[in-house]
Structure 1
Amino acid sequence: MAEMRHAKVSELKVKHKSEQEGYEYYKRDFVPRGHADKSMVSIYEIPPLKAAYPYHYHIKNEETFYIISGEGILKTPDGERKVTAGDLLFFPADRNGAHKLVNTSAAETLVYIDFDVVHDLDVAVYPESDKIGIWGKDVNKVFRLGDEVDYYDGE
């Protein structure tokens, strides 16, 4: 069972990820996966001219971002738009919620809160790179959509 939480952002442990050109973030989990049954809350800091994640959408999990500071470009199925401090962004759990947020500043960090509704198992689709990710308690894998096999293959 989840417990009430109270913390200062500065006291949250920082996770840094920078494994691919153009993608980098610092993440502070306030409500990490597994702490609550249906939600996660994290603070993201995106360095200049970087994005946290590729263009994607979720099948089950909804996301809401609140931009604390900085500015960026948000790519969605409707095109690109500028986002700045004070903006709220909601991404439904379907292809209409596809998104990629890029920090467009050459000097300032983009900081936002990511509120996620989570399920035991979620699928993320990456339409630009033809991939699918399966995310859950016991599985975190990414596959190319072209690797599809027949249901009974190998049985």
Structure 2
Amino acid sequence: MGRINAERMDWTRFEAGDAEFRRKQLGEAAGGDQLGCSLYELPAGKRSWPYHYHTRNEEALYVLAGDGRLRLDDESLALAAGDYVALPADERGAHRVVNDGDEPLRYLAVSTMDDPEVTVYPDSEKLGVFVGSPPGGSDDRRLHGYYPTDADVDYWAGEAGESDNDDDEHRD
């Protein structure tokens, strides 16, 4: 059993575009393997990670303090202290946390930590691939990158020694 005290941990700060928050990775610090948990704090007027959903990892949010909003696919939910939201591992779980209140919004984000994982970002039409360590994990990744969702290539494209007419050559 791993035990940590969040009050004794340092915050990690993140800023990019309209996203700004502080985070403490509690699950990792306590030695969690299959379950992640992070404490987040969003300043007034700021947002969390870009709007996204996971294809393998389920997430949940529990609001500790403050007020905000949870952007979902077809609605926006008001968030207040004591609210718990389950986010399934598919497009129904697409989300982004927004602090539209006047005080910091503090919440726990809990997730399964399955690998490999594909995360989809509908607004920017891209996807993220994580192999070797899921999003939020710190193990070395064998494959990790972000790609346009419409970047489809032919299965055989780029195969060494292959040509479009190989099948014709073997029809004798």
Q: Same fold (TM over 0.5)?
A: yes
Which is richer in strand? 1
Q: Given residue 99 of structure 1, which amino acid in structure 2 is its aligned partner? A: H
The structural deviation recorded for 1:33 is: 8.8
Q: Percent identity?
A: 32
**Residue 77 (structure 2) pairs with residue 81 (structure 1):** yes
8 A Cα contact 1:38 1:119, kept in partner: yes
Q: Distance in 2 between matches of 1:21 and 1:123?
A: 23
Q: Given residue 24 of structure 1, which amino acid in structure 2 is its aligned partner? A: E
8 A Cα contact 1:33 1:40, kept in partner: no
Match of 1:149 in 2: 153
Q: Secondary structure at the match of 1:153?
A: coil
Q: Distance in 2 between matches of 1:36 and 1:130?
A: 32
Q: Distance in 1 between matches of 2:145 and 2:99?
A: 26
TM-score with structure 2 length normalisation?
Answer: 0.81
- Identify which of 48, 59, 63 aligns with 2:59: 63
Which structure has the greater CA radius of gyration? 2
Q: Distance in 2 between matches of 1:33 and 1:121?
A: 21
Give per-residue Cα distances to partners, 1:34-67, cap 9 Å, x unaligned: 9433111110111111111111111000001100
**Residue 50 (structure 2) pairs with residue 54 (structure 1):** yes
Stretches of structure 2 that go unaligned for 5 or more consecutive residues are 134-140, 160-172
- CA-based RMSD of the aligned residues comes to 1.7
8 A Cα contact 1:67 1:86, kept in partner: yes
Q: Given residue 14 of structure 1, which amino acid in structure 2 is its aligned partner? A: W
Q: Distance in 2 between matches of 1:77 and 1:13?
A: 33
Q: Distance in 2 between matches of 1:70 and 1:122?
A: 31
TM-score with structure 1 length normalisation?
Answer: 0.89
8 A Cα contact 2:3 2:30, kept in partner: no
Q: 1:23 to 1:64 in 2, by over 3 A?
A: same
**Residue 97 (structure 2) pairs with residue 101 (structure 1):** yes
The structural deviation recorded for 1:78 is: 3.1
Matches within 5 A, 1:1-155: 4-18=1-15, 20-32=16-28, 35-105=31-101, 107-136=102-131, 137=133, 138=141, 139-155=143-159
Which stretch has the larger CA shift, 60-69 or 118-127?
118-127
Stretches of structure 1 that go unaligned for 5 or more consecutive residues are none
Match of 2:165 in 1: none
Q: Distance in 2 between matches of 1:36 and 1:9?
A: 15
8 A Cα contact 2:2 2:30, kept in partner: no
Q: Given residue 81 of structure 2, which amino acid in structure 1 is its aligned partner? A: A
The structural deviation recorded for 1:102 is: 0.4
